[in-house]
Amino acid sequence: MVSSPNPKPIQVNFQTIGCRVNEAESHQWASVFASCGFIVSPKPINCDILILNSCAVTVAACKKSRQIISSLHQNNPSAKIILTGCFATIESDFITDNIKISLCIPNQHKHNLPSIVIDKLNLEPQKTTFDYNLLSFKRQRAFLKVQDGCRYQCSYCIITKLRGGEKSVDIRHIIQQIKKLELQQIQEVILTGIHLGGYGSDINLSLTQLIKEILSKTKIQRIRLGSLEPWELSADFIRLFKNPRLMPHLHLPVQSGSDRVLKLMNRRGKTSDYLNTFKKLKNTDKNFNITTDIIVGHPGESDDGFMATYNFCKKAQFGNLHIFKYSPRENTKAALMSEQIDEKTKKQRYQKLDLLNQNLIQNFIKNNKYIKHKVLWENKNKQGIYEGYTQNYQKVFNNSQKNLTNTITEIKI
C-alpha cells in the first residue's frame, strides 16, 4: 500500500526498452497517471513507483530486462516495481520467484495498466489541471500506437505469441490524439504498431486510409511511419509520399536477401519484388531513405545464402542496416530446425555485413550532401550542440547560438 492519511504526490517513473510500440505505450500511460494527479518523473531516483515496459524479442533483450529490474531495486529498494511487456508475459517462473517485483501485468492486460496499478496499490487519484506534455520531457517527436498484434508466423519470432491477434485503434481516437499533440506543439508523430501494415485488418480499414485521414483532418507538420513489411506496400500507399508531410523514410525489415532463407523464415515475397518496391519508393524522392533489419545465421543459412544477403544489401543501397545474430527462442519453429549455425560463423557473418553497412551509411551521407533538408531540431547534447533529424531521417548537428529546440529549419548538409 503506497497511500497515507496525508499523502504527498506519488512519483512515477517509466523505464522502456524494445520497440517503438513500447515507447508509445509508456507515453500514453504517463499521460493517464499525470491526469490522475501523480508526478511523472524523468528519472527513477526517489520515485514511489517504477514501471518497466520490457522486451523479449531476443535472448539479449530478456537479459537486459532482468538487469534493469535488479538495478532499479538496488538503487531504490523502497519503490514498488511494476513489470509489464513481453518479458513479463513470457518469463512467468522468473517473475513468480522474484521478490523485487511488486506487480506483474502481462500483455493481455497492459491496455488497462494505469487502472490496475491504481487499484492494486490502493492509490488515490487527485484532481489536477496538469496536462502531461512531451516537450517537458525533452521530446519533440511523439510515438503513437495505432495497432497491436500480428497475424504472421515468422519462424524465428516469439512476439506473435506474446502480443496476440491484430487489434486496430479507431481512426477517430487517433485523430483526437494527434490534435492533442498539436496543442502541445509537437511537430512530428510516428505511427507505430507490432504489424503496422496490418492496421485495419480487424475493422475493415487499411493503413493507407488511416494516413489519408490524418493528412486530411490534422495539421501536424511531420508524419513518420514505423516498421512495415516490404511486401505490403501498394501503389496507392506509395503515392501518399507525394505529400511533403509524410516523411520520405521507411524501415522495411527484409531479414534476409536469400529467397531460400526467406522461405525458411516463413517470410512473404521474393527479393526481386522487394527491389522493385524500393525503386518505386525512390521514384517519389531520389533521397528516399530505406533502412532494414537483417538476421544472420538463421538455421539453414548456407555460405551462399549469406552471400546472397550481402549482395542484396549492396544492390538495394540501404541507408542503414540493423544487423542481428540469430538467437533461438523457445516455442518457435526455427528453434527446432536442423542446420543450426554455430556462434563463430554468426559472428563472422555479422562482422562482414557490418563492414558493408559502414560503407552504405557513408554512401547515403555522401549522396545527401549539398542538398537542402528540412530539420526538426530537438535538444542540445552533452557537448552543447543541437541534434535533429532531416525528413529522410538523417541525424544532423548544429552549434547555433540561437534556441533551435522544436523548430524546423532548412539547411544544407
pTM given for the model: 0.91
Per-residue model confidence as pLDDT tens digits over 64-123: 999 999 999 999 999 999 999 999 998 866 776 677 899 999 999 999 999 999 999 999
Per-residue model confidence as pLDDT tens digits over 119-175: 999 999 887 766 677 766 667 899 999 999 999 999 999 988 899 899 999 999 999
Residues 101 and 175 in one domain: no
Residue 2 lies in a domain: no
Residue 126 lies in a domain: no
Residue 164's domain is classified under what CATH number?
3.80.30.20
Domain that holds residue 393: 372-412
Residue 252 lies in a domain: yes
The pLDDT value given to residue 115? 96
Residue 174 lies in a domain: yes
Per-residue model confidence as pLDDT tens digits over 399-413: 999 999 999 999 998
Q: Of 315, 215, 331, which Cα lies nearest the Cα of 271?
A: 315
Residue 188 lies in a domain: yes
Residues 180 and 294 in one domain: yes
Quick one: average pLDDT of 200-222? 97
Per-residue model confidence as pLDDT tens digits over 275-304: 999 999 999 999 999 999 999 999 999 999
Residues 161 and 187 in one domain: yes
Q: Which residues pair with 397 in a beta bridge?
A: 387
Residues 67 and 147 in one domain: no
- Please count the structural domains in the chain: 3
The pLDDT value given to residue 1? 45
Per-residue pLDDT for 7 more than 70?
no
Residue 130 lies in a domain: no
CB 381 within 8 A of CB 356: no
